[in-house]
């Protein structure tokens, strides 16, 4: 079943599946924090996986948890890795363009598998749901700890602290006890209206379902814009929390992908939401954990190329110019592709 078949046959509304692996890394639990015991499987394209990459970097866990990155084109077999076997199989559809090489994609560093589905089958042979990323894998028990990004980022933000050297990364708590209520209620409407809201727009198969999702999305973005109108850099308590991380991965994809591909075109972040744009640029340009984990090439390729039901010729658009604006946009000349330029612009 293709991802766009997630839409309900009766009302055409997109329904996201509930994740099945819901264990946690916790001291004294089945999965205790240990250096080099866990492995993350991600796609640079996926906003849910992107959350885990950001938190891994923010918490200085690069040396603790290695990462395998899937190829951005998600075709019939689901997410795949770069392997000689797959390279041979990747007979491109007639409409294929020539962006076949994605340097940031890796092999499956643990098993050498061809597909993410093989991981799920290894962990649970009778697994019958979708083969999604991110996947947090335990090398000791040879199984999946979690495939739910919201919970993986909570584990990464706290579970390894006892093993981390003193410093800013160890001290950073993205979900501090005293702010949990506020973070939870922010996350709730932001998830429904925006994080998942863009998918509800994009994968709707009826006008009614699309219109309801688009209206909810527009209202939620207005609400976010309003919160940021006092000039704040972070949503909650003047500090970086998981609320910022979770919204960032959707907003950074908005102008390059969701506006066009998912018909989220009530407004562009850069033109219509100046406060959200300022917040976005600050995180991206001033904190390497955000910029270094954002790969616009994978992002654009994945969405436009993989969802043939929405984009049957798999054309990846030329723009926008630029994927994200520079910090000081007044310095940008018209036609200057800048640092955030997309591959099409660079190759033109």
Would you name the residues annotated as active-site residues? 46, 199
Alpha-carbon gap, residue 186 to 154, rounded angstroms = 16
- Site membership for ligand GSH, residue 202 (CB under 6 A): no
Give least dist CB 257 to ligand GSH, A.
11
- Site membership for ligand GSH, residue 130 (CB under 6 A): yes
- Nearer to ligand GSH among residue 130 and residue 232 (C-beta): 130
- Nearer to ligand GSH among residue 33 and residue 47 (C-beta): 47
Q: Where are the alpha helices (DSSP H) in 66-206?
A: 84-89, 116-123, 149-158, 168-171, 180-190, 197-203
Span between the terminal Cα atoms of the chain, in Å: 36
131 marked ligand binding residue: yes
- Site membership for ligand GSH, residue 121 (CB under 6 A): no
Give least dist CB 83 to ligand GSH, A.
19
Partner residues linked to 138 by β-bridges: 38, 143
Q: Site residues for ligand GSH, window 284-303 (CB under 6 A)? A: none
Of the candidates 30, 29, 38, which has an alpha carbon nearest to the alpha carbon of residue 62? 38
Give least dist CB 45 to ligand GSH, A.
7
Binding mask 25-64 for ligand GSH (x = CB under 6 A): ---------------------x-x----------------
Specify the DSSP class assigned to residue 315: P
Partner residues linked to 143 by β-bridges: 138
Helix (H) or strand (E) holding 248: helix 242-251
- Considering only 133, 209, 240, 264, the residue that binds ligand GSH (CB under 6 A) is 133
Give least dist CB 133 to ligand GSH, A.
5
Specify the DSSP class assigned to residue 316: P
**What is the token pair recorded at 127?**
């697994």
**Residue listed under structure tokens 């407004």:** 267
**What is the token pair recorded at 251?**
């907003």
- Considering only 19, 73, 241, 342, the residue that binds ligand GSH (CB under 6 A) is 19
- Site membership for ligand GSH, residue 78 (CB under 6 A): yes
How does strand 143-146 pair with strand 66-69? unpaired
Binding site for ligand GSH (CB under 6 A): 3, 19, 46, 48, 78, 130-134, 147-150
């Amino acid at each position: 079943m293709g991802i766009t078949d997630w839409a309900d046959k009766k009302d055409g509304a997109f329904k996201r599946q509930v994740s099945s692996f819901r264990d946690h890394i916790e001291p004294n639990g089945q999965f205790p924090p240990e250096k080099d015991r866990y492995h993350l499987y991600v796609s640079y394209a996926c906003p849910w996986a992107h959350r885990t990459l950001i938190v891994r970097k923010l918490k200085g866990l690069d040396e603790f948890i290695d990462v395998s990155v899937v190829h951005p084109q998600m075709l019939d077999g689901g997410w795949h890795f770069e392997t000689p076997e797959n390279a041979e199989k990747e007979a491109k559809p007639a409409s294929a363009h020539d962006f076949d090489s994605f340097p940031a994609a890796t092999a499956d560093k643990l098993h050498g598998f061809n597909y993410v589905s093989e991981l799920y089958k290894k962990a649970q042979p009778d697994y019958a749901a979708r083969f999604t990323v991110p996947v947090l894998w335990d090398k000791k028990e040879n199984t999946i700890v979690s495939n739910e990004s919201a919970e993986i980022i909570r584990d990464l933000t706290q579970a390894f602290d006892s093993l981390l050297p003193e410093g800013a990364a160890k001290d950073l708590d993205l979900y501090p006890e005293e702010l949990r209520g506020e973070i939870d209620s922010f996350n709730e409407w932001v998830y429904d209206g925006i994080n998942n809201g863009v998918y509800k727009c994009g994968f709707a198969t009826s006008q009614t379902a699309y219109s309801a999702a688009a209206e909810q999305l527009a209202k939620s973005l207005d609400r976010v814009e309003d919160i940021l109108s006092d000039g704040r850099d972070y949503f909650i308590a003047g500090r970086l929390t998981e609320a910022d991380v979770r919204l960032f991965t959707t907003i950074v994809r908005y102008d390059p992908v969701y506006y066009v591909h998912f018909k989220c075109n009530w407004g562009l972040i850069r033109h219509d939401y100046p406060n959200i744009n300022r917040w976005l640029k600050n995180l991206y340009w001033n904190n390497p954990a955000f910029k270094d984990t954002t790969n616009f090439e994978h992002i654009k390729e994945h969405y436009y190329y993989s969802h043939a039901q929405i984009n049957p010729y798999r054309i990846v658009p030329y723009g926008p110019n630029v994927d994200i604006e520079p910090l000081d946009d007044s310095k940008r000349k018209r036609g200057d592709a800048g640092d955030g330029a997309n591959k099409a612009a660079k190759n033109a």
